[in-house]
Structures are given as C-alpha cells and as structure tokens.
Amino acid sequence: MNKKGHLINGALLGIGLPFITAPLGDQASVQADLLTLVIEIAKFFPPIVLGALLPDIDTEFGKHRKTLHNLPLLAVAILYANQFGNLEYVWIGIATHYVLDVLGSKRGIALFYPLSSNETGFPIGVKTSSKWANLMTVAITAFELAVFALFALVLFPNFDFQLSAVEQAIGGIQ
C-alpha cells in the first residue's frame, strides 16, 4: 500500500485496538470507561502510526519492500521495547504494515531479507494505485483487529501488547 493506506491502517488500529484492551462496560461507570479508553488511545495511537509509516522509509534508501520490510526489523523493534523500555507498541504498526502489504497489494515483501530477496505476496492483493486500494485497506484493518481481538479476548485473556513474555524469555537466556 502507499503512505496514505498505511496512515489509514495505523490510525484505525490506534483507535480500534483500545476498544479491545479496554472494552466498554468493564468498569463501574460510563465516565470511567471512557476515560480509560481515551488514555488507551493516547498510549497506542502515536507508536502504532509511527510503526505503520516506518517500513516505507525504504523508498528513500536501500531496496523498497526489502530493507525495512522484513522479520529481522520486526524482531529488533520488539527487542528495543524489552531491552531499553522504549519504542513500545511500534512493533504493532510494523507488523500490521507487513500484513497490509502482503495481503493487500499485488507486490509482496521480502520477509526474510537480507537472507533472501524473495518477495512474499498473496493472490488477493490489488495494485496500490487501484480504486479498490482504500476498501482493501479498511477490510484488512478489520481483519487485523479481529485477529487482535481473538488473541486478547479469547485465546490469551489480557494479552500483553508490550510482549513482556519476550523480556522474560531473554532474561531466561541471559
């Protein structure tokens, strides 16, 4: 997708994800519910949007859809949060950027770069210039939110989007 698509994707996730992490109706009053929701949006929105825009910086240097479109970069973002306590939640924007590029656009991305330059794509994608691109972006955003909801509300109640489990795993290795 193009920058506008990733901006739409990141912004919708930054607003949508808090409805999963802080569901309405789980507190004593409506005011408390709304206040928590606003705080969650303030927490998630900037880092997710930043993460969503970050991979396409490789249009300016390196190889587009390769240099900043790979799983090692995603791992670095996750490790940063856990090792240095910054860039938390940026991984969400990066991961969903990859999903949008792989599922939504005709050209895939090199997930295993620099080990392999092969681009992984999905046959349902549309051209980023297509009139269907925005609709595709919104549909994939809904899919991403559904996956997050499945994780955080069904499979792993109170799923930790800061991925503290990674920190514990690294602690176990050291």
List of residues contacting Zn ion (CB under 5 A): 55-56, 101
Choose between 3 and 165: whose C-beta lies nearer to Zn ion: 3
Choose between 1 and 41: whose C-beta lies nearer to Zn ion: 1
Least separation in angstroms between CB 50 and Zn ion: 14
Least separation in angstroms between CB 52 and Zn ion: 9
Structure tokens given for 22: 């802080």
Which one, of 41, 43, 66, lies nearest residue 55 by Cα? 66
CA dihedral for 9, 144, 155, 169, sign (positive or negative)? negative
Choose between 88 and 101: whose C-beta lies nearer to Zn ion: 101
Choose between 7 and 166: whose C-beta lies nearer to Zn ion: 7
Least separation in angstroms between CB 66 and Zn ion: 10
Which position's Cβ is nearest Zn ion? 101
Least separation in angstroms between CB 105 and Zn ion: 8
Instruction: Report long-range pairs for 155-164 (Cβ below 8 Å, ≥24 apart).
Output: 161/17, 161/21, 161/44, 161/89, 161/92, 162/81, 162/88, 162/89, 163/78, 163/81, 163/82, 163/91, 164/82
